[in-house]
Amino acid sequence: GYDNFCDSLPDKTEPGYLSAEEFLKRKLRSQFRAVGLTELVQYSLVKPEEQTQIRLDNPLFTEYSSLRTDLLSGLIDACQYNIEQGNGVLNGFEIGRIFWRAEEGFAEADAIAGILGGNITQGNWVTGGRSEPMTWYEAKGVLERVFSRCGLTVEYQPDHSDPRLHPGRTASLWLQGEKLGKFGQLHPQLRSERGFPDQVYVFDLDLELILEALDRDEILTPRFQVYSTYPAIDRDIAFFAPLQVSVAEIERSTRKAAGTLLESVELFDEYKGESVPEAQRSLAFRLIYRASDRTLTDAEVEPVHQKVREALEEKFGVSLRS
């Protein structure tokens, strides 16, 4: 067959390039590495344990004859192995494909998941142990730094759907009104069974949803955004709110009511106890108002702030204290 090859070279060649999807994946990988996580690669073949798993008819090993349905299980196993080797809790992430049985047949999707609990500031992963356990807010902050670097606004809602996670320290993540994934602390029972010395946190995200949100001109080509040089005016607002009303809902309604003059809203105090009505909690927020073209006056800010107060009273039935 060699005599059938043409003896002339192609007229022209084109330089190779990355697809937009691969470019965004590499950008996402670099952001997770930048916050101190190590990229991991796990086998797609796992032990057959769930009905939703896809079984292989002719596996290389009968022990590993199913395709994985999530990335978290492999990461938890890797963390346990790392500890058993004396290397401390692993801080890592993985981008990979998961598979499951659906009503219409077999389905697959790309996902990204991570596990952390060691000292995130250590440069050498071998010395990843730490004297003080990582807190829930530290772990959440690592994930939020990645979201911030990528220009993603993610909301957190309470979640209790995964039995592997602590029911009171787990949140579902939402991006542009769609469920992005989950973040939480490993259940104490699972932590004890695996021999983890400290608190360990995990996240599991829908990679395709992230890529859709990242595929925008402002992400692909970052642009400088002009900031205001005029002074800001801050106002505090405190009230009793029902326990079932989340802080994220309050912040969202506050931004909607205040409009463009509101630069930021931040919760700075929460209290449950004496002098607080039953089934309620005391919340206090600081609102920062600023205009891009002028110095705001009290006469301009007060009507907007009053509108926020009225919106919270009407929508959530809060009892204002200030």
> pLDDT tens across 79-102, in order?
999 888 888 888 899 999 999 888
On the question of pLDDT at 229 being above 50, the answer is yes
For the segment 20-59, what is each residue's pLDDT rounded down to a tens digit?
888 889 989 999 999 989 999 998 998 888 778 888 888 8
Distance between CA atoms of residues 21 and 2, nearest Å: 38
Dihedral pair phi/psi, residue 207, rounded to 5° = -65, -40
Neighbours of 318 (CB within 10 A): 21
Tell me which amino acid residue 43 is: Y
Q: CATH homologous superfamily for 233-320? A: Ferrodoxin-fold anticodon-binding domain (3.30.70.380)
Please provide the CATH number assigned to the domain covering 20-218.
Answer: 3.30.930.10
d(CA 244, CA 246): 6
Q: What is the largest CA-CA distance in the chain?
A: 93
Residue intervals of the chain classified under CATH 3.30.930.10 are: 20-218
Contact 39, 94 (CB under 8 A): yes
| Residue intervals in the chain for CATH 3.30.70.380 | 233-320
Q: Lowest mean pLDDT of 104-113, 127-136, 158-167, 220-229, name the range.
A: 127-136
Residue 105 has pLDDT above 90, yes or no: no
Which band of pLDDT confidence, cut at 50, 70 and 90, is reported for residue 129?
very low
Which amino acid is it at 31? Q
Query: Is residue 240 a contact partner of residue 276, using CB atoms and an 8 Å limit?
Result: yes
